[in-house]
Amino acid sequence: MPQTITLGFKTMLAEAERAIETIDAAAAIALHGRDDVVFVDLRDPRELEREGTIPGAFHCPRGMLEFWIDPESPYHKCIFSQDKRFIFFCAGGWRSALGAATAARMGLKPVAHLGGGFAAWREAGGPTGRFELREQRPVAAK
Q: Could you tell me the pLDDT band of residue 139, with boundaries at 50, 70 and 90?
A: very low
Q: Which domains does the chain have, with CATH numbers?
A: 31-130 (3.40.250.10)
Asked whether 96 and 48 are in contact (CB, 8 A), the reply is: no
Distance between CA atoms of 1 and 64, rounded to whole angstroms?
32
Q: Which residue did the predictor score with more confidence, 136 or 53?
A: 53
pLDDT of residue 20: 97
Flag whether the pTM goes above 0.75. yes
